[in-house]
Amino acid sequence: MQKTNPKKTVRPARKQAVQPGLEEDMNPSPVFERSSARKGKLLDKVALITGGDSGIGRAVAVAFAKEGADVAIAYFNEHTDAETTCEHITLAGRGCMLIAGDISNEKHCNDIIKKVIKKFGKIDILVNNAAVQYPQKGIEDISAAQLQKTFETNIYPHFYLTKAALPHFSEGGSIICTTSVTAYRGSSHLIDYSATKGAIVSFVRSLSASLSDKGIRVNGVAPGPIWTPLIPATFTPEEVAKFGTDVPLKRAGQPVEVAPCYVFLASDEASYLTGQILHPNGGEIVNG
């Protein structure tokens, strides 16, 4: 098994005369295999997931547990959903913690981190995932109250939780933020929601630059149309019936199809990725 450190700085190597060259003549040798003997990609990691009670958050929570992580779930008031998710985490043999409350409140976010540290002793992965959306026909229908609610739920907690968690992160920690395909293509009936998702993209890129020297990676996931509780809770029956049919794959995605992106970004397999966004969106071509 290779023991070479993949993060080791590459030294100047002897020039090879013929392309494509010989790997056996390189010094240091390129790292092609990890030396870790872990059975799970996230073995003994501790993850906090906002909105982890259902939808994409639930799928990520269960996937993390199956890869060996203990999981804390921050959610609003969907107690039944949260308890079901927790049952699946414990069935995977990992620890679970449920924390209910409003993450738009900075004090609550600070308390969440304190509770996670008290129970698990550390935090390795932060998934900023929770969000709300309120479809409107146009910008003239978006009230000041709605605008405030959307921003204080969808983007403010990214700042609150990151600030509170950062002192407890070690090198190798991972922050993953859920943005959306709407950040790239826009949405005429979700203008305020799309604006927050665009802000999250910029947050990921800026925070990744800020934390790179600490060895903490920051990435994001921009799902397309995914079948989550937000869909029937915010769209009309007619809109729900055709939800997702406008993407190249002609269907909505399932949360389980998105969760592997988060597992990958949280794991050492993504050790050379920071400031990046993955796009599980059914085939939509996006820029950025």
- Pairwise CA distance, residues 260 & 56, whole Å: 11
Task: Let me know: does 55 contact 255? Beta carbons within 8 Å.
Answer: yes
Rounded CA separation 177/100 (Å): 20
Which one of 156, 193, 262, 272 is the catalytic residue? 193
Contact indicator for 131, 192 with CB cutoff of 8 Å: no
Q: Quick one: which of 194, 75, 51 has its CA closest to 135?
A: 194
The candidate with the shortest Cα–Cα distance to 153, out of 78, 79, 51, 56, is 51
Residue 72 in contact with residue 41, Cβ under 8 Å?
no
In the numeric block, the tokens 């969760």 are attached to 259
Q: Please report how many Cα atoms fall inside a 13 Å half-sphere around the Cα of residue 279, on the Cβ side.
A: 15
Q: Are 202 and 219 contacting, i.e. CB atoms less than 8 angstroms apart?
A: no
For 76-203, strand residue ranges (E) read 96-100, 125-128, 174-178
* Whether 228 contacts 255, CB under 8 Å: yes
Beta bridge partners of 220: 177, 277
Active site residue 134: no
| Residue 48 near residue 116 (C-beta atoms within 8 A) | yes
Q: Which residues, listed in sequence order, are joined to residue 71 by a DSSP beta bridge?
A: 47, 96
Active site residues: 193
